[in-house]
Structure 1
């Protein structure tokens, strides 16, 4: 936010002007279909959409679309009773309990969450872990239960060693799973149980240890944004203006979305939004403009909610304005 102050931009700058909307998903039509089926408690339709996709990251967004839908926790119970040996209903129940748990906790700071809210939050995460471990045992090749366990683990504040093992279990099944790497990056952030040094090392090793053209280059940009967020006003801007920060972003961009093997699928839009923010904070207008143009006005909640949690699209537009777009 320091850079916005330096440029003289405030939220009030955009009052009365059209603001882009946050895009809730990747645009995959199956996400809309599965969400509508979940809202209608239509298990056969939900099952058909999920089973048509390969396990792992191809199914992650679909599962979370179901998990984010209110009421799934009610209609999935009779499905579990009717299909006592089937892993997919258990996976859906586990993912729903993760989302349902965070609904109880809310996005408030820990000091603003009541003891009762935490109790419900933890109870739902523990229930999710039960479902997910059962699925992991039934389907040892599936990635999704281990990815879910990474998320429950952070909510339940598991130790760093257990968190690493859950991450390792996920990427052993899908080495370039972006969501799994994003979760582990958060785990090693200073604000959780790590440090800036550990976070940057993890981001760099993951991004450049993967083939060129994967989305994992985003981790480098996320790490710099997380570092910026952890600093006070003044030091935050000075950090982002270091030449080595700009160089690392350029290298990550070249290895990721600028590479000819990069595919605009899955979380590709979030990758561009993240680099747009990072390059803006660095002051690299040309590179930020490149990313904003690629988004075509489509805003992902992450990372813009770091600037404006209530209206991330406003933050996107503020930053984009500086590039002339």
Structure 2
């Protein structure tokens, strides 16, 4: 186990960059103007096209992200398109049939296959059967790290050994040293492999964040480690100051990302979750302001079958607590420190 952690961090050594994005921030929105899992302006036409059984908008979108090496957005878009294809696959089937070697179609096909297998009781066995699809996606464009993120998730679900996972990790970070999705996949693998060893997971997340550019999403990786700890319920306690430091990193990142925009909403929703657990009400109110009208299913679906309703209740209760009302605590679920899990 120790050997694995020793092998994971050395990749993070590239030139730092900084970019600040400034946009007007919308004020509080009424409940009926809050959106759950809203697509951004680039993804929305692709989803509309897919709903009309046209794959051309999705193909154009993913081709653009690949040409521009927009790996973070490519990862998010491919994941959302695969999620749509779970219930409406005809457009993807037609795309794959028309362009069987298209790197973009192959990526969505691989993601969809992993998603479908993950939900089965025979997950490990089914995931092993879809390995050739991931290999095809990875070989279709050697620059692309996103198929390697799919491979890392696949390896976790298939209960792959450490040596194999390390090989995948090395291939992923050669292509994109600070790719957020690959880092989250690695952190989740470590969390499952070292169940309860939250300090080691924090070490990995902190090292990655320290060497990443100031505006990289990897700055939020310690936030995932904090979430995993807060929702687990095993292992020794992590000092409060380490949880606060994880939140502080994400708070510093948040103003560098577009405000009141669907793109960073998932990170801000996760940050809100952690800030609420830490009872940092003023910071939570500020993140609500930056977040605008965008709720995301994760992490609220870990607490409720109605993530939007839970988000809205949290929002109002946080504002009340910040104004001097009684502190708000999420309801407890089936286990762990607060009764939810991180998948």
TM-score by length of 1: 0.75
State the 1:187 CA deviation: 1.1
Q: Distance in 1 between matches of 2:165 and 2:309?
A: 35
- Is the contact made by 1:67 and 1:92 (CA closer than 8 Å) also made in structure 2? yes
- Partner in structure 2 of residue 287 of structure 1: 283
CA RMSD of aligned residues (A): 3.1
Q: Is the 8 A contact 1:160 1:193 kept in 2?
A: no
1:4-15 equivalences in 2 (<5 Å): none
As a proportion of its length, which structure holds more helix? 1
Match of 1:97 among 113, 117, 137: 113
Which residue of 217, 222, 226 maps to 1:220? 222
1:40-189 correspondence to structure 2 within 5 Å? 40-54=52-66, 55=69, 56-68=71-83, 69-70=85-86, 73=89, 76-77=92-93, 79-102=95-118, 105=119, 117-119=120-122, 121-122=123-124, 124-189=126-191
Could you say if the C-alpha distance between residues 293 and 142 of structure 1 is closer, same or farther in structure 2, counting changes exceeding 3 Å?
same
Provide, for residues 130-157 of structure 1, a one-character-per-residue CA deviation record: whole Å limited to 9, x for no partner: 1221232232111121111112112211
Conserved? CA contact 1:143–1:170, under 8 Å? yes
Q: CA deviation at 1:196?
A: 0.8
Q: Contact 2:210–2:219 (CA<8 Å) still a contact in 1?
A: yes
Q: 1:278 corresponds to which residue?
A: 274
**Residue 250 to residue 125, structure 1, CA distance change in 2 (3 Å):** closer
Per-residue CA distance 1:212-263 (angstroms, 9 max, x = gap)? 122223222221221121228xx99xx68x54145413541354224xx445
Ranges of 4+ aligned residues in structure 1 off by more than 6 Å: none
> 5+ residue gaps in structure 2?
1-29, 323-343
TM-score after normalising by structure 2: 0.72
Is the partner of 1:306 in helix, strand or coil? coil
Relative contact order, higher structure (CA 8 A, sep 6+): 2
Equivalence for 1:323: 319
Contact 2:110 / 2:133 at 8 angstroms: preserved in 1?
yes
Q: What are the ranges of 5 or more consecutive residues in structure 1 without an aligned counterpart?
A: 1-16, 106-116
Deviations 1:281-304 (A, max 9, x none): 112111111112211242112222
Aligned-partner SS, 1:153: helix
Aligned residue for 2:254, secondary structure, equals coil
Aligned match of 2:210:
208
Cα shift at 1:202: 1.4
Q: Deviation at 1:35? A: 1.9
